[in-house]
Structure 1
Amino acid sequence: MCHKLLIFALVCLICCEFSDESLQGPTKSKRDEEEKSDDSDETSPLRVVPAPDLSKDRDRRKGDTNVNDEISDAVDLFMLDQAKVIQKMVQEIGLKNFMLEEPEELPLEDLPPPPELPAHEPTPEEIEAKTIYDTATAILNKTRPDKKHAYQLLAEAAKKGNPEAKALVAWAKLFGNPLEQDLETAKEIFRSLAEGGHPEGHTGLGFLYASGLSVNVSQAKALVHYTFGAIGGNTWAQMVLGYKYWSGITVAPSCEKALDFYRQVADKVSQGVSFGGGAAIQRIRLLDELENGYSSGILDNDLIEYYQLLAEKGDIQAQVGLGQLHYQGGRGVDLDYQKAMHYFTQAANAGNAIAMAYLGKIYLDGSDEVKADNDTAFKYFKKASDLNNPVGLSGLGLMYLYGRGVEKDYTKAYKYFLAAADQGWVDGQLQLGNMYFSGLGVRKDYKLANKYFSLASQSGHVLAYYNLGQMHAQGTGMLRSCPTAVELFKNVAERGRWGEILMQAHSDYTEGRFNEAFVQYALLAELGYEVAQSNAAFLLDRNEVPMFTIQESLARALLYWGRAAAQGYSAAQVKLGDYHYYGLGTPVDYETAASHYRLASEQQHNAQAMFNLGYMHEQGLGMAKDVHLAKRCYDLAAETSTDAKVPVALALFKLNLMFSLDSLKESHLSSLLDFNEMFGSNWDLYLITTLTAILAAIVYFRRPQAPAVIHIFL
């Protein structure tokens, strides 16, 4: 009997070993529960991840495992589905039994050649769609693209099935520029692309799930889609993951992973930088623009017309200024090399060295509007360098360094770069760093390379940031520093061509297209742009995004203010304090409000935060009541900003008054001095308002009076 039992156990073991269920998923009941939970997720209310406080990241993440569990579950389900697909393919090919058997070791020469996959022959319609797509992208890559015509072609190519055209149409539908905004259509296009494994589709769906546009928020699904988009080489997905791993948003922070993703993006950006540096990107914070009376860097049309009038009358400075505006673009002026050449030529003919040098740069770079001409570039650079202009000197150095129209000569290149760098010109500093780093005509010297790259980075040159990032990432000539390298590569990544979306979003905002502006700011916020994060929060804070309710807007604004504050924007830190103080999108919490005010005060020297801390010390809100600390905070606010002097004077007057009244409370008049009972808890605000009105009246009546006009009647 024992032998029978032993044989039966052995047979069961063999059956289990060679079972067809080589890949097993959850049981039927468990799958049903997961499907139900997945369905319920589709209809779950909006969930907004709390704004990260990087100063308390370590403590917060120890207890925050819900998001990680959700991500793990989503990834497990996704990988299980992929495993089932692979198993089915293996079974169809008939290789399953072969995989289960122990393979024989064969010599390399006896191995059969790998099977050749049949090449996909494109259909005539696919060839036509690709041709239309190439024509459209050629139009978009021009200096002054005709976007309307380009997207008409893209829509035609998308109908014929071209996936790249579909992706561009989907983003245009999502942004509402240049096509009409349609979030549902964009979502469906992204979904169809993702099902086909297209990285743009995964990136688009990742953004929708992360921001909760047309779908319920699911950071787990967003992370999965972003990951597959990044694996497919999508630049935006790589930026998103770099920022997430750097700041620890929905993932455990990892400097090395952030460095890997940001370096990939920085490599692409650096390869697209021309000698001229490319178009300028204007970063406008809507909150600062509002507080400064809308005095942003955007030039008024009347001012531009005035400079144009001066230029036509022969004003050389106006000609050079307009030429630089059109050469670099930005500040409300379109990039236009033809107009730049027009103004530079006028100034160069009058003997202006700067205009000569910039004409040399235009001809050296070339464009779709101006054909590259090394001889003409050399002529203008030579004229400018003879007048000791640093731009011209650097231009000649570039031509000798790369052999553009002249024979390569590292000695002459070094001489011209050094002369330009001595005058503080950024291109001369950058190229000297390159020569010392690579040992071109000089002995390799990483310390000198670091010196000149650092000088060039102070002027904001993108390649200087990139080169410094590489040195810090590899520890070349210095101690390796992953955090510094990430910061530098992040700076480079944010100078990519997609930064133009910032200007388009601002243009949409000024035209009252708030939904379109918000979606564009929201995408750039996902990419890690602090300006976009604060601008998205600004729109939500003012309830200017029609697609959201007031409460939903406040909850989302709190999230974006938190991300902007974590990147060092002091006004966002103050806004976080305000939200917790007044209970906007979160319960009232005076202690948390005080902590945000303290951060903005101590780390960023924000006068508003100091004033608010003074008031909370005075009232004992979220901290011990202390009149002396209140006065100290008020004094610091007045010292930090001249705009705070009048409010501080009124607050100190009230503080001194209250201090005097407190000393009388022990007398028999104490019952008459209980202002909270007589006037309510906000009586102090009424008092400050009254004092402000009295002060304004005094200033008004003491203003200088106009002399009386004496009428003489004859």
Structure 2
Amino acid sequence: MNWLRFALAGWLFSHIASTSEQLLSVEESIAIFKEEEPALRESLWFLTDYKPAPDDQVHLALDVDYYDEADNIKKKYWNSKLSERQLHALDSLHRLADEHNDTDATYLLAQINLFGNYSLPTNATQTLHYHQKMVQLAPNSTSNYLLGFIYATGLFGKLDMDQGRALLHYQIAADQGEIRAAMALAYRYYKGISVEQNLMLALYYYGMVAHECFEFIKNGPIGGPNIDHFNFRIYDLQGGLYGSGASETTPIVPSTFKEVVEYEDFTDVDFQSSSYKDKARSVRHYYDGNYWRPRDYNTAFEIAQECATRGIQLRPVQDVLDDRIDRKLSVSRTLIQSVGQCCSDLGHMYLRGEGTEIDLEAARVWLERGVKLANSAEASVDLGLLYELMDDEDHRAQAFELYNSASYASARALYHRAKILIRSDFEAGLGQLITAAYRNVPEAKYQAAQMKELQYEPGKEEGILVFYKAFVEHMEPVVCDLQWAFHQLLNRNHEQALIGYAMAAEQGFEPAQSSTAFLLYSPVGYLEEPPRVPFERFQSSLNYYRRAHQQQNLDAGVFLGDIYYNGLKNSQIGKSSEKGEYAVEPDYNTAFSYYLSAAAKGSLQARFNLGYMYEMGIGLSQDFHLAKRYYDQMFEINQKPSLAAQLSLLRLWLKIWWYGEKTAEDSDVQQPTSRTWDDWVQMYTRLRNERRETSAQEQLANAPNRAGPDSNFIFESTFENGNADIFFLIAFASIFLLVMLNRWRLLRQRRPGEPDDEPEDEPNVRFRVILL
């Protein structure tokens, strides 16, 4: 028996040893994830890397429906595609985190299960568990911030929301220096979200974030860092929440989605003006990049250098540089302007060290040429900054003159002029600084807030908050990662995109709030089937639409009013087992409040809806006077309102002529009832009899005699019951169809062939495509 004991002990020892040898470190696990990621992405149809060719049109596909069952099936399929090495690496991380309390493994697992790092599947329960474990093991500001986000959103139905815990973790993270948490706290105190409104605390946290953002600017290149903005509403890419022509909120259409002519090396001298113009545009194309291609400073520098060095050798350009002719009088103005733009861009890149090493002397030479040839405001600002670096009175005076000459065309020139002026004339400089802030110069917003804070008066906190909030929202790369969210959207990884947009939404970005709401529940046209989503996601979408409306989003307010006006049945959002019951009960008072709020902000559609509710007495006492007031207000903003508005006003005029100007104080005002043809004839006859009673009676008395004794003519004041309303039905049905067709034409359309029945059998099959 002893030999058996020794054998068993040896086996156990060897098993433990082999097991410990198989335990991978965090670094080894990460290396495996990186190596296996390409093969994993190829095996999953729903994970794509969008890399369009230069002339490709971008197709942004958005899922309309969402089903928990389909998501669970997708996750199971996802896990089944993991390789043995990936499973081993994940198992090692779990053992390191659970058995050895390894902080690196714990944090990595928490991030993987939230963001899907290395294309691995996510898990809401595990990300909550490991972030909680992380903050217990060691102080970690990021985990505290993400715990605040998880509790604030519940990850849209996957976990329970707890606003108290969210506030607590945001507070801890902010105290640990996490500016994303500080910004979320600032927005909550500013708007009173789950806390009592406290403008002083909001000012404190916004100031904390703003100081960090300004340090980021100061540590950047001369003139400040280039910031790529992804803070736009997703639905603005298709014309707005209700589609092009029907939406009222001013769309934030990204300029880089516009067509850009690619660089071509023209050699035909007959086309040299066109060639240099294309080169100048190509420099900006590569320098600015776009939403799916990063900036390419090296290529931009090469093109600018070639364009500028070759361009200044041309005779028309030399004539301007040598002052032999004024550039405005030259017959080659387009050529001179294009070469001047290339010179400006080349000097700009020498000044900032983009695509080349910093060379201030070369920057000065090329910027001076750019100012002379193109009178470029940007070149004037760059040259002014360069002169300020020389730190002598003469160059500072030259810088001021350059800023002064370019201040009308360039807000940045106005800002730099204000900075110089404020040293000698504080009030005038402060006024110009505030003007530059309103012209969207981020540094001016920060410094204007600083100046106002120095002159603080009780009750004036909101004026300071507005500048701080606008400034920190401009600094996207510092406070959020909307670029990552948009790229996830391009790759059709909608759940990860939703997390990215929601994180920015919690920080108070209105476009991110609108985008988050749209991803959770997107409005549809009157003739379309509503999206099928879990009720928790629908509630979250309403919450973000409310926040967006509080920040001047007109369409969000109208949408909320429509939801409460019409109500929404459970069967319309996927709860087929509860048909007939409302997820949102029709509530005319709430709908009225949203329409009234949107109308006060300038919404034409909300004013039309208010006029209609007063006209028809829907949820309100019928009041033609107020109905006419709201209809008339539509013409104050738009001299050519929609056909529906014009027809409604005409209909109201007819009612006023027929009924008189009824108001809410009239005791006989009732909900309008349908009338038969006989009612209209009798009413018309009674009104005529009141005016011409004697004449009417004589005509009626003589009517049988005129017909003759043998006539079979009998006057009937009524039609048959089946034809009682035929004329008015035809008239109003025609008007109604015209209005509906006009409205439908303006609303966005979804692809044909969408399933209408039993959507659970084919989940996530409906999607809308936006062409960029």
Of the three residues 616, 619, 630, the one matched with 1:619 is 616
Q: Say if 1:266 and 1:493, in contact at 8 Å, map to a contact too.
A: yes
Determine the structure 2 residue equivalent to 1:230. 174
User: How far apart in 2 are the matches of 1:547 and 1:594?
Assistant: 24
Determine the structure 2 residue equivalent to 1:208. 150
- Aligned CA distance change for structure 1 residues 261 and 623 (closer, same or farther; 3 Å): same
Q: Say if 2:26 and 2:104, in contact at 8 Å, map to a contact too.
A: no
User: How far apart in 1 are the matches of 2:480 and 2:535?
Assistant: 31
Matched letter for residue 736 of structure 2: T
Determine the structure 2 residue equivalent to 1:266. 210
Determine the structure 2 residue equivalent to 1:689. 736
User: How far apart in 2 are the matches of 1:552 and 1:338?
Assistant: 48
Determine the structure 2 residue equivalent to 1:486. 465
User: How far apart in 2 are the matches of 1:482 and 1:455?
Assistant: 19
Determine the structure 1 residue equivalent to 2:228. 280
User: How far apart in 1 are the matches of 2:420 and 2:734?
Assistant: 67
Q: Say if 1:473 and 1:480, in contact at 8 Å, map to a contact too.
A: no
**1:362 aligned to 2:349?**
yes
Structure scoring higher RCO (CA < 8 A, sep ≥ 6) equals 2
**1:253 aligned to 2:192?**
no
User: How far apart in 2 are the matches of 1:583 and 1:648?
Assistant: 23
- Aligned CA distance change for structure 1 residues 296 and 386 (closer, same or farther; 3 Å): closer
Matched letter for residue 623 of structure 1: L
- State the percentage of identical aligned residues: 25
> What displacement does 1:168 show?
7.6
Instruction: Report the 3-state secondary structure (helix = DSSP H, G, I; strand = E; otherwise coil) of the residue aligned with 1:308.
Output: coil
**1:469 aligned to 2:439?**
no
> What displacement does 1:650 show?
2.8
Aligned runs of 1:585-624 on 2, under 5 Å? Answer: 586-602=584-600, 604-624=601-621
Q: Say if 1:506 and 1:517, in contact at 8 Å, map to a contact too.
A: yes
Determine the structure 2 residue equivalent to 1:380. 366
**1:454 aligned to 2:434?**
yes
1:598-648 deviations in Å (ceiling 9; x for gaps): 22112x211111111111111112322122332332333245347733122
Of the three residues 374, 377, 380, the one matched with 1:393 is 380
Q: Say if 1:466 and 1:492, in contact at 8 Å, map to a contact too.
A: yes
Determine the structure 1 residue equivalent to 2:253. 297
- Aligned CA distance change for structure 1 residues 623 and 547 (closer, same or farther; 3 Å): closer
User: How far apart in 1 are the matches of 2:430 and 2:406?
Assistant: 18
- Aligned CA distance change for structure 1 residues 302 and 522 (closer, same or farther; 3 Å): closer
Of the three residues 560, 567, 570, the one matched with 2:544 is 560
Q: Say if 1:266 and 1:492, in contact at 8 Å, map to a contact too.
A: yes
Determine the structure 1 residue equivalent to 2:556. 572
Q: Say if 1:298 and 1:332, in contact at 8 Å, map to a contact too.
A: no
Between 319-328 and 684-693, the greater mean CA deviation after superposition = 684-693
Between 570-579 and 212-221, the greater mean CA deviation after superposition = 570-579
- Aligned CA distance change for structure 1 residues 695 and 341 (closer, same or farther; 3 Å): closer
Q: Say if 1:638 and 1:648, in contact at 8 Å, map to a contact too.
A: no
Q: Say if 2:148 and 2:170, in contact at 8 Å, map to a contact too.
A: yes
> What displacement does 1:522 show?
0.9
User: How far apart in 1 are the matches of 2:659 and 2:372?
Assistant: 77
Determine the structure 1 residue equivalent to 2:647. 650
User: How far apart in 1 are the matches of 2:683 and 2:292?
Assistant: 65
> What displacement does 1:555 show?
1.5
> What displacement does 1:269 show?
1.1
**Structure (1 or 2) with the larger CA radius of gyration:** 2
- Aligned CA distance change for structure 1 residues 495 and 126 (closer, same or farther; 3 Å): farther
User: How far apart in 2 are the matches of 1:631 and 1:637?
Assistant: 10
> What displacement does 1:536 show?
1.2
Of the three residues 512, 518, 528, the one matched with 1:532 is 512
Matched letter for residue 560 of structure 2: L
User: How far apart in 1 are the matches of 2:478 and 2:109?
Assistant: 16
Matched letter for residue 378 of structure 2: V
User: How far apart in 2 are the matches of 1:637 and 1:168?
Assistant: 56
Matched letter for residue 649 of structure 2: L
Of the three residues 404, 410, 422, the one matched with 1:421 is 404
Of the three residues 309, 323, 335, the one matched with 2:295 is 335
> What displacement does 1:193 show?
2.3
**TM-score, normalised to structure 2's length?**
0.61
Matched letter for residue 419 of structure 1: L
User: How far apart in 2 are the matches of 1:128 and 1:651?
Assistant: 69
1:343-402 deviations in Å (ceiling 9; x for gaps): 3334433253333222222222225x5332223222222323444543333223322323
CA RMSD of aligned residues (A): 4.4
Matched letter for residue 384 of structure 2: G
User: How far apart in 2 are the matches of 1:207 and 1:668?
Assistant: 67
1:131-174 deviations in Å (ceiling 9; x for gaps): 99xxxxxxxxxxxxx999xxx9x999998999689758755653
Q: Say if 2:521 and 2:531, in contact at 8 Å, map to a contact too.
A: no
1:27-46 deviations in Å (ceiling 9; x for gaps): xxxxxxxxxxxxxxxxxxxx
1:443-493 deviations in Å (ceiling 9; x for gaps): 3x32133123223223322111111111111218x9993212211111121
**1:308 aligned to 2:263?**
yes
- Aligned CA distance change for structure 1 residues 619 and 688 (closer, same or farther; 3 Å): same
Instruction: Report the 3-state secondary structure (helix = DSSP H, G, I; strand = E; otherwise coil) of the residue aligned with 2:496.
Output: helix
1:267-310 deviations in Å (ceiling 9; x for gaps): 11112223244123143223433345679735788933x44359
Determine the structure 1 residue equivalent to 2:319. none
- Aligned CA distance change for structure 1 residues 249 and 695 (closer, same or farther; 3 Å): closer
**1:193 aligned to 2:191?**
no
> What displacement does 1:543 show?
8.2
Determine the structure 2 residue equivalent to 1:712. none
Q: Say if 1:173 and 1:179, in contact at 8 Å, map to a contact too.
A: no
Q: Say if 2:350 and 2:357, in contact at 8 Å, map to a contact too.
A: yes
User: How far apart in 2 are the matches of 1:431 and 1:206?
Assistant: 40
- Aligned CA distance change for structure 1 residues 378 and 482 (closer, same or farther; 3 Å): same
**TM-score, normalised to structure 1's length?**
0.65
Q: Say if 1:508 and 1:517, in contact at 8 Å, map to a contact too.
A: yes
> What displacement does 1:590 show?
1.1
Q: Say if 2:520 and 2:540, in contact at 8 Å, map to a contact too.
A: yes
**1:432 aligned to 2:417?**
yes
User: How far apart in 2 are the matches of 1:574 and 1:157?
Assistant: 49
User: How far apart in 1 are the matches of 2:128 and 2:523?
Assistant: 25
1:88-114 deviations in Å (ceiling 9; x for gaps): xxxxxxxxxxxxxxxxxxxxxxxxxxx
- Aligned CA distance change for structure 1 residues 395 and 175 (closer, same or farther; 3 Å): same
Matched letter for residue 588 of structure 1: P
Aligned runs of 1:483-562 on 2, under 5 Å? Answer: 483-496=462-475, 497-498=477-478, 501-542=481-522, 549-562=533-546
User: How far apart in 1 are the matches of 2:121 and 2:504?
Assistant: 17
